[in-house]
Structure 1
Amino acid sequence: MDKEVLRECELAVHWGISPKTLQRWRCTGYGPKYLKLNKLVLYPVHAVLEFEKTSLLQSTSQNSSMAKPKRNNSRPLNAREVALTVRLPTYWFTNINMRQKLGIPHVHIGKVVRFNLDEVKAWARRYSAEIEKNNGGDTVKRTDRKGPRLIAIERLSLI
């Protein structure tokens, strides 16, 4: 690799993967850093080498979930993933009106909405504290039958 940049197809051939894989990686925030000029995607060689270096493993045990700690901010999560992780209703994250009403932090990656888990957890703690303050110390007003919103608010206090 004596060039300063590689085109998407060149990098795909070099690694033996599909260009679609590189495109998917870019959408999820994974892979080497890239430069986009109009429709042309270029990968600086130093960024490719840096990514390869950080991806090196000593043994297969390093790849197991038990061997390495999970990084919450490793990649942006979609609405379903973040809802399952924080145990809140998916529609809070998929519905634009609910996201705005509740002030849920999110980012747009192209036309796709993604969530940073650390930011969502911090929001959940703030939102839970706000609800608790408004209810005078009770997280949820006690009733015989709890609706999905009350159950979700109770879950917020566990985050």
Structure 2
Amino acid sequence: MKKVAINEQELAERWGLSPKTLQRWRSEGRGPRYLKLSKRVTYLVEEIQAFEMESMHSATWEKGSDVVLSKDPNLMSAKEIAEVMNLPMYILTHPNMRESLGIPFLHVGKLIRFKLDEIKAWMLRCSAEMEAHGIEVPKDPRSQRRTLLEALARLPA
């Protein structure tokens, strides 16, 4: 009879890891999906095999932290968004600035990426809010590079 699931110790032996490593991975949300019933942790063999297949690499550059091949072609870097939308790059790269302005972003591995349509929608919302508060917003954002940021700074707290 073929095994459907294996326990933590068996998986640790299979991969040459410590069971503590698997425990740490679970707490970090890494590794294969697992099943936990009471205190017993088991891993389905098909989940293990799927995780092993995803972990296969044909070149070392594939696992580099600055190379992320996303399945979404609409994701753009801060530099690309800054150039396309004529925004100062630091509002996209500084975490506190992104959070305070409510700029939509995604984590892709260790990288921050943006969707152009979400940034456009965010800019439209900001422009509408500024106009509602009586702050003049030029219709052509390329006419002045920092106009949007200056207008955001003048918003009442």
Instruction: Please report the TM-score for the alignment, with normalisation by the length of structure 1.
Output: 0.50
Q: Give the secondary-structure state (helix, strand or coil) at the position aligned to 2:96.
A: coil
The answer for the alignment partner of 1:25 in structure 2 is 25
- Rounded to whole Å, the distance in 2 between the matches of 1:141 and 1:69 is 34
Aligned residues: 113
Aligned letter for 2:95? L
Going from structure 1 to structure 2, the CA distance change for 1:133 and 1:37 (only over 3 Å counts) comes to: same
The answer for the alignment partner of 2:44 in structure 1 is 44
Q: Which has the larger radius of gyration?
A: 2
Percentage of matched positions with identical amino acids? 31
**In the alignment, is residue 69 of structure 1 matched against residue 64 of structure 2?**
no
Contact 1:132 1:140 in 2 (8 A): no
Aligned-pair distance for 1:8? 1.6
**In the alignment, is residue 88 of structure 1 matched against residue 95 of structure 2?**
yes
Contact 1:36 1:42 in 2 (8 A): yes
Aligned-pair distance for 1:86? 4.5
Q: Give the unaligned 5+ runs of structure 2.
A: 73-91, 132-136, 139-147
- Rounded to whole Å, the distance in 2 between the matches of 1:86 and 1:41 is 40
- CA RMSD in angstroms comes to 4.0
1:79-102 Cα offsets, whole Å, 9 max, x none, are xxxxxx84221894xxxxx8xxx6
Q: Give the secondary-structure state (helix, strand or coil) at the position aligned to 2:95.
A: coil
Contact 1:135 1:141 in 2 (8 A): no
Q: 1:117 aligns with which of 79, 93, 107?
A: 107
The answer for the alignment partner of 1:5 in structure 2 is 5
Aligned-pair distance for 1:134? 0.9
Q: Give the unaligned 5+ runs of structure 1.
A: 74-84, 93-97, 106-114, 143-148, 154-159
- Rounded to whole Å, the distance in 1 between the matches of 2:127 and 2:26 is 40
